[in-house]
Amino acid sequence: MWDSLIYSWITIELTCTSVLAYTEGLHGKWMFSEIRAVFSRRYLLQNTAMEVFMANRTSVMFNFPDQATVKKVVYSLPRVGVGTSYGLPQARRISLATPRQLFKSSNMTQRWQRREISNFEYLMFLNTIAGRTYNDLNQYPVFPWVLTNYDSEELDLTLPGNFRDLSKPVGALNPKRAAFYAERYETWEDDQTPPCHYNSHYSTAASTLHWLVRIEPFTTFLLSANNNKFDHPDRTFSAIARSWRNCQRDTSDVKELIPEFYYLPEMFVNSNGYHLGMREDRTMVCDVDLPAWAKKPEDLVRINRMALESEFVSCQLHQWIDLIFGYKQRGPEAVRALNVFHYLTYEGSVKLDSITDPPLREATEAQIQSFGQTPSQLLIEPHPPRSSAMHLCFLPQSPLMFKDQMQQDVIMVLKFPSNSPVTHVAANTLPHLTIPAVVTVTCSRVFAVNRWHNTVAPGYSLEQAHHLPIEMDSLVANNTGSNKRQITDLVDQSIQITTHCFVVTADNRYILVCGFWDKSFRVYSSETGKLTQIVFGHWDVVTCLARSESYIGGDCYIVSGSRDATLLLWYWSGRHHIIGDNPNNTPRAVLTGHDQEVVCVSVCAELGLVISGAKEGPCLVHTITGDLLRALEGPEHYRCPRLISVSSEGHCIIKYERGCFCNFSINGKLLAQMEVNDSTRAILLSSDGHNLVTGGDNGVVEVWQACDFKQLYVYPGCDAGIRAMDLSHDQRTLITGMASGSIVAFNIDFNRWHYEHQNRY
Ligand SMILES: *[C@@H]1O[C@H](CO)[C@@H](O)[C@H](O)[C@H]1NC(C)=O
Ligand SMILES: *[C@@H]1O[C@H](CO)[C@@H](O)[C@H](O)[C@H]1NC(C)=O
Ligand SMILES: *[C@@H]1O[C@H](CO)[C@@H](O)[C@H](O)[C@H]1NC(C)=O
Ligand SMILES: *[C@@H]1O[C@H](CO)[C@@H](O)[C@H](O)[C@H]1NC(C)=O
Ligand SMILES: *[C@@H]1O[C@H](CO)[C@@H](O)[C@H](O)[C@H]1NC(C)=O
Give the pLDDT mean for 499-517.
92
Q: CA torsion sign, 345 to 350 to 353 to 355?
A: negative
Q: Whose CA is nearest to atom 12 of ligand 1?
A: 56
CA of 472 to the centre of ligand 1 (A): 46
Tens of pLDDT, residue by residue over 255-288, are 999 999 999 999 999 999 999 999 999 999 999 9
Provide mean pLDDT across the span 229-238. Answer: 95
Residues near 493 by beta carbon (within 8 Å), at least 6 away in sequence: none
Chain center to CA of 288: 25
Beta carbons within 8 Å of 125's beta carbon, 6+ residues apart: 86, 106, 108, 112, 117
Query: With a 6 A CB cut-off, is 741 part of the ligand 5 pocket?
Result: no
Distance 47 CA to ligand 3 centre (A): 56
Least confident of 121-130, 183-192, 508-517, 569-578: 569-578
Q: How far apart are CA 740 and CA 738, in angstroms?
A: 5
Per DSSP, what are the bridge partners of residue 49?
A: 41, 63
Task: Sort residue 248 into left (φ over 0), alpha (ψ -120 to 50) or beta.
Answer: alpha
Q: pTM for this structure?
A: 0.88
- Tell me the Ramachandran region of residue 508: left when phi exceeds 0, alpha when psi lies from -120 to 50, beta otherwise: left
d(CA 214, CA 205): 15
Are the C-beta atoms of 716 and 699 separated by less than 8 Å? no
Ligand 5 atom showing the smallest separation from residue 652 Cα:
13
Contact 659, 647 (CB under 8 A): no
- Locate the ligand 1 atom nearest the alpha carbon of residue 25 and give its number: 7
Between CA 266 and CA 649 the distance in angstroms is 15
* Mean pLDDT calculated for residue range 406-422: 69
Q: Is 598 exposed, middle or buried (0-12, 13-18, 19+ CB in 10 A)?
A: buried
pLDDT of 395 over the 80 cut: no
pLDDT at 527: 85
Residue 613 has what pLDDT?
96
Three-state SS at 151? coil
Mean pLDDT in residue range 153-167: 94
Q: Which residues contact 192 (CB under 8 A, 6 or more apart)?
A: none
Q: How far is CA 379 from CA 324, 326, 340, in A?
A: 10, 5, 17
DSSP summary character for residue 16:
-
Backbone angles phi, psi at 40, to 5 degrees: -80, 150
Looking at residue 678, its pLDDT comes to 78
Say what the pLDDT of residue 396 is.
38
Instruction: Choose one of 475, 478, 483, 526 to mutate for the ligand 3 pocket test, by most ligand atoms within 8 angstroms of C-beta.
Output: 478
Smallest CA-to-CA distance from 595 within 575, 621, 618 is with 618
For residues 198 and 183, the answer to whether their CB atoms sit within 8 Å is: no
Q: What is the pLDDT of residue 622?
A: 96
Task: Identify the band that residue 239 occupies on the pLDDT scale cut at 50, 70 and 90.
Answer: very high
- Higher pLDDT among residues 760 and 624, named by residue: 624
DSSP-based three-state secondary structure for 738: strand
Angle made by CA atoms 638, 641, 642, in degrees to the nearest 5 = 130
Spatial separation of the C-alpha atoms in residues 84 and 29, rounded to whole Å: 23
Please choose from 23, 51, 54, 590 the residue to mutate so as to test ligand 1's pocket, defined by most ligand atoms within 8 A of CB: 54
SS (H, E, C) 168-237: CCHHHCCHHHHHHHHHHHHCCCCCCCCCCCCCCCCCCHHHHHHHCCCCCCHHHHHHHHCCCCCCCCCCCC
In DSSP notation, 306-344 reads HHHTSHHHHHHHHHHHHHHTSTTSSHHHHHHTT----GG
Ligand 1: which of 33, 625, 629 to mutate, most ligand atoms within 8 Å of CB? 625
526 or 236: which leads in pLDDT: 236
Report which of 643, 668, 671, 670 is spatially closest to residue 657, judged by C-alpha positions: 643
Tens digits of residue pLDDT in 173-193: 999 999 999 999 999 998 888
Task: Spell out which residues line ligand 3, taking CB within 6 angstroms.
Answer: 473-474, 477-478, 483, 527
Q: Does the Cβ of 105 fall within 6 Å of ligand 2?
A: no
| CB of 217 sitting under 6 A from ligand 2 | no
Q: How confident is the model at residue 11 (pLDDT cuts 50, 70, 90)?
A: very low
Q: Residue 394: is its pLDDT beyond 60?
A: no
Supply the DSSP string of 31-69, one letter for each residue: EGGGEEEEEEEEETTEEEEEEEEETTS-EEEEE-SSHHH
> Which of 32, 53, 56 has most ligand 1 atoms within 8 Å of its beta carbon, as the pocket-test mutant?
56
Q: Output the CA 56–ligand 1 centroid distance in Å.
A: 6
Tally the residues of the chain: 761
Average pLDDT on 300-327 reads 96
Asked if residues 759 and 719 have their Cβ atoms less than 8 Å apart, the reply is no
Is residue 20 scored above 50 in pLDDT?
Answer: no
Name the residue with the closest Cα to ligand 1, atom 5.
30
Residue nearest atom 7 in ligand 2 by C-alpha distance: 87
DSSP state of 649: T
The average confidence (pLDDT) of the chain is 86
pLDDT of 278 reads: 94
Element at 363 (helix H, strand E) = helix 358-371
| Side chain identity at residue 450, one-letter code | N
Give the mutation target among 450, 473, 474 for probing the ligand 3 site: most ligand atoms within 8 A of CB.
Answer: 474
Ligand 3 center from residue 532 Cα (angstroms): 19
Residues 575-588, mean pLDDT to the nearest whole number: 74
* Pocket, ligand 1, Cβ cutoff 6 A: 28, 30-31, 34, 54, 56, 58, 625
pLDDT tier for residue 566 given thresholds of 50, 70 and 90: very high
CA of 654 to the centre of ligand 4 (A): 21
- When pLDDT is averaged across residues 384-406 and rounded to a whole number, the result is 53
For residue 551, pLDDT beyond 70: no
Shortest CA distance to 309 belongs to which of 698, 726, 688, 733? 688
Percentage of residues of the chain with pLDDT beyond 90: 60
Candidates 703, 734, 740; CA nearest to 718 is: 740
Answer whether 569's CB lies under 8 Å from 559's CB. yes
What H or E segment, with its residue span, contains residue 448? strand 447-452
Question: Percentage of residues in the chain with pLDDT exceeding 70?
Answer: 86
Instruction: Quick: pLDDT tens for 683-716.
Output: 999 988 999 999 999 999 999 999 999 999 999 8
Task: Kindly report each contact of residues 474-483 with a partner whose C-beta sits within 8 Å and lies 24 or more positions away, as own/partner.
Answer: 474/437, 474/448, 474/449, 474/450, 475/416, 475/417, 475/448, 475/449, 475/450, 476/417, 479/417, 479/446, 479/448, 483/528, 483/529
Residues 12 and 26: beta-carbon distance below 8 Å? yes
Check residue 288 and give its pLDDT: 97
Which ligand lies nearest to the CA atom of residue 609 in the structure? 1
For residue 367, pLDDT beyond 70: yes
Dist CA 365 CA 355 (whole Å): 11
| pLDDT given for residue 492 in this prediction | 79
**How many angstroms separate the alpha carbon of residue 262 from the centre of ligand 5?**
13
Helix (H) / strand (E) element for 502: namely strand 502-504
Give 72 or 478, the one with higher predicted confidence.
72
Under 8 Å between Cβ of 723 and 681? yes
Q: Which amino acid is at 321?
A: I
Output the CA angle 518-519-524, nearest 5 degrees. 85
